[in-house]
Amino acid sequence: MTLATSTPPGADRDGFRLSMLIYDTRFRAITIQVVVLVLVLLLVGWLVDNTIQNLNAKGKDINFSFLWVRAGYDIEQQLIPYTNDSTHGRAVIIGLLNTLLVAIVGCFFATIIGVIAGVLRLSNNWLVSRLMTVYVEAFRNIPLLLWIVVIFVVTSETQPAPNEFKVTQAMVDSWQDDDPANDLEPTASKILFGTVAVTNRGSYMATPMLDRPLGSTEIGGVPVNFSVLAALAVVIGSILVNRAMLRRVKAQQEATGERPTTWWKSLLILFGPIALLLLAMGFHLQLPAFASDENGVSKGFNFQGGILVQHSFTALTLALALYTGAFIAEIVRAGILAISRGQTEASFALGIRPGRTMSLIILPQALRVIIPPLISQYLNLTKNTSLGIAVSYLDLRGTLGGITLNQTGRELECMLLMMLTYLIISLIISGLMNIYNNAVKLKER
């Protein structure tokens, strides 16, 4: 009867007939939705019921308590502290952070590579545009899996082993005499003023160290470093001050027509406070180096000190960046081509150089066309991080969907949790990007 009362005024009030549920467009929508709902409920009920029966037959239950059991395995790349005594739950979080790290770094580089390649593909330079075409087509038409494996192999096959950096007794002896011609040196050396050592097992980077740190605490198992917080606060503060300063200068320019020199002020405001803070805390870099005995002969298997960036991470990130970059290049190219030629011509007519035309006129307009497909590329990249399995990068799939699943045998729980996590990440990314997209969208009236 509730259906009959919802009949809009002016409609046939003769009464409600059953056949109106099918033939009356006002009610048909309701009928269809009810039927669909019942069918979907039936399907879900059927699936759940089957699951219960199957679990019963195997004597299993749905239980997430394994997440609080000792994991017992090690993870090579950990952004927050973790040992094999930590729980599976913490291993999952480590994996999640590793996934996010690859996704963020990958998206960053993919964007840079994609924009450069997309612009260069339209370059007047015949050779460069052809090279970019080869790059784009090669990466778009060969499975990502192959690229990940290939880059991984290249990084580990072409770089020197750590012991080629070692100083041996023979080298120390050769330095004793005065003749520099006889001196022996390690076959490999560090790059970037000794801050980075690229070996076949990963890159060892200099670690920033503080002599007088501000201490740290732990909130819910996550360490919080006050020094980092302080540095962040100072940097954000400097940026805000700098902005205020620039705003004032602009106001002055608009009032008087003269713009005071600001670059040295900006530099001072931006870098002065943080430099002072770091100086106060005793900042220095700990270079990666071998432990050595009193004669200077290196000992041990690996560099001591320094942050180790595993090649599985490097290869996965690089492959993802190059692969997604090829797709982004196409998007950028299409976006640029979508901007009418008149814009370029008008810009040239104003005497703006080609490089600046691109960065000031074309790209900002093309951005509106580029953003929506770019979002889906970011999403794809994030999902493709799960291919880290090919190089055994311990991301979310490697920990939760790999070792934890294997050790505990809880495939239902692990898989559901993993899917849910990926889903949430994807939804967050698309949500954020949509907000951004709405912000830059052409406001039409």
Q: Using CB under 8 A, which residues numbered 45 to 84 contact another protein?
A: 45-65, 68, 72-76, 84
Least spacing, CB of residue 199 vs another protein, in Å = 9
- Scanning 102-110, 170-178, 358-366, 396-404 for contacts with another protein by CB under 8 A, the matching segment is 396-404
In the bound state with another protein, the residue whose beta carbon lies nearer, of 184 and 244, is: 184
In the bound state with another protein, the residue whose beta carbon lies nearer, of 103 and 231, is: 103
Site string for another protein, 146-165 (x = CB under 8 A): x--xx--x--xx---x----
| Alpha-carbon span 84 to 407, nearest angstrom | 13
- Scanning 8-16, 105-113, 275-283, 378-386 for contacts with another protein by CB under 8 A, the matching segment is 378-386
Is 426 an interacting residue with respect to another protein (CB under 8 A)?
Answer: yes
Residue 150 CB: number of other CB atoms within 10 A? 13
Please list every residue from 297 through 316 that binds another protein, using CB under 8 A. Answer: 300-302, 304, 308, 310-312
Sign of CA dihedral 37, 42, 43, 44: positive
Is 229 an interacting residue with respect to another protein (CB under 8 A)?
Answer: no
Which of 3, 4, 26, 29 is in the footprint of another protein by CB under 8 A? 29
Least spacing, CB of residue 243 vs another protein, in Å = 33
| Alpha-carbon span 68 to 66, nearest angstrom | 5
| Alpha-carbon span 135 to 157, nearest angstrom | 22
Least spacing, CB of residue 436 vs another protein, in Å = 19
Which residue matches tokens 């039409």?
A: 444
Q: Are 280 and 142 in contact (CB under 8 A)?
A: no
Least spacing, CB of residue 114 vs another protein, in Å = 17
| Exposure class string for 265-289: b at 16+ Cβ within 10 A, else e | ebeebeeebbeebbeebebeeebbb
Least spacing, CB of residue 288 vs another protein, in Å = 13
- Scanning 224-232, 244-252, 295-303, 336-344 for contacts with another protein by CB under 8 A, the matching segment is 295-303
Q: Are 222 and 194 in contact (CB under 8 A)?
A: no
Please list every residue from 182 through 221 that binds another protein, using CB under 8 A. Answer: 200-201, 218-221
| Alpha-carbon span 387 to 390, nearest angstrom | 6
| Exposure class string for 368-380: b at 16+ Cβ within 10 A, else e | ebbbebbbebbbb
Is 20 an interacting residue with respect to another protein (CB under 8 A)?
Answer: no
Q: Phi and psi of 286, rounded to 5°?
A: -95, 115
Is 332 an interacting residue with respect to another protein (CB under 8 A)?
Answer: no
Q: Are 375 and 111 in contact (CB under 8 A)?
A: no
Which of 6, 80, 140, 185 is in the footprint of another protein by CB under 8 A? 140
# residues near another protein by CB under 8 A: 111
| Alpha-carbon span 96 to 327, nearest angstrom | 25
Q: Return all residues near 13 (Cβ < 8 A) that are at least 6 apart.
A: 7
Which of 4, 6, 108, 137 is in the footprint of another protein by CB under 8 A? 137
Least spacing, CB of residue 65 vs another protein, in Å = 5
Which of 133, 389, 433, 437 is in the footprint of another protein by CB under 8 A? 389
Is 387 an interacting residue with respect to another protein (CB under 8 A)?
Answer: yes
Closest CA to 91 of 433, 432, 406, 310: 406
Is 3 an interacting residue with respect to another protein (CB under 8 A)?
Answer: no
